[in-house]
Amino acid sequence: MQANKFTTTWINLRESYDMLSRSNLLQNLYKNNKMNLKKVIDLGGGNGSFLRWCHYKNIIYDDFLIVDNDEALLKSFYPRTKSYLSTMSLSLVKDNMMSYRIQSLKKNKDGFITLKKQDLYKSIDIINDYNLVSFSAVSDLLSKKFIKCLFDKIDKGTNLYFSICFDGRVKWKNKNKHDKYIVSMFNQHQKQEKTTGVALGLNSINFIKSLSKKNDYKIYIADSSWSVDSYDNDSRIFQKAYLSTIYKPLKKFELIDQDILEDWLRSKQIDIESKNSNLVVGHKDILIET
């Protein structure tokens, strides 16, 4: 099966937008009962951006397990997280390459962090050891089989959180006549063989909803879309990188008109450089109380 490879550069670029766009669903769950997030497992957690968001929102845990099959992303966890936490007067103590402790001036510890290099299917076997099972920005890459397996395995009382779920919407303020065609092709391309099987793409959200209702689980959905302008250099760099995540896979897609793709790319690049490219990428957050 094809592995989903995301560069560390891209993961780091998108983190600030993910930080700002996540909804308050998880914060509300935490406020209702802090035990809901006492033990967290973050599946497909990359280099720990969701963990850093938890600290950004002052969500405190006892144990946090990050599972990913990408060794390069896991290796980048320590330097990036240590640097981030230092701005919050927290220190990240490294016991070994896969085990860490967070310490602060106010408390002896804020929590234990473990990294694990493992396939997502194998990780399903341990989800019920945790209060919260998190997936960040990967729902569209998951297969129907994997999500069904997840719901079949999960115990009553374990919370599921899918954040930054791509819903298929990509819109630019400065429209191009080929926008709808390109976005349609991109959404079609997403439904291919990925790490867990044939990916659901934008249909993952409805499939997760249907399984939740079938099992009579409480489900909450909120918007977590990116909204990106092009007025400063950082936003233009990010828009160019995002443009590349659309262009590169479509360049190898046999069903697309390559001339239209190239024309569309040039037009978007000009818009970005001229600071005339306000972008919205549709996402949803989904919280499920089983």
**pLDDT, tens digit (0-9, with 9 covering 90-100), for 82-129:** 999 999 989 999 999 999 999 886 665 669 999 999 999 999 999 999
Rounded CA gap, 63 and 76, in Å?
Answer: 20
What phi and psi, each to the nearest 5 degrees, are found at residue 105? Answer: -70, -25
**pLDDT of 194:** 87
pTM of the model: 0.95
Which residues, 6 or more positions from 21, have their beta carbon under 8 angstroms from its beta carbon?
Answer: 164, 224, 225, 226, 227, 283
Long-range contacts of 206-214 (CB under 8 A, 24+ apart): 207/144, 207/147, 208/139, 208/147, 208/162, 208/165, 208/286, 208/288, 209/286, 211/147, 211/148, 211/151, 212/151, 212/288
Q: What is the mean pLDDT of residues 176-182?
A: 98
Are 285 and 22 a contacting pair, CB within 8 Å? yes
**pLDDT of 108:** 59
> Which amino acid type is present at position 242?
Y
DSSP helix/strand/coil, 188? helix
What CATH number matches the domain at 8-172+199-229+282-289, 1.10.357.10, 3.40.50.300, 3.40.190.10, 3.40.50.150?
3.40.50.150
The tokens describing 134, both together, are: 């998190």
DSSP helix/strand/coil, 76? coil
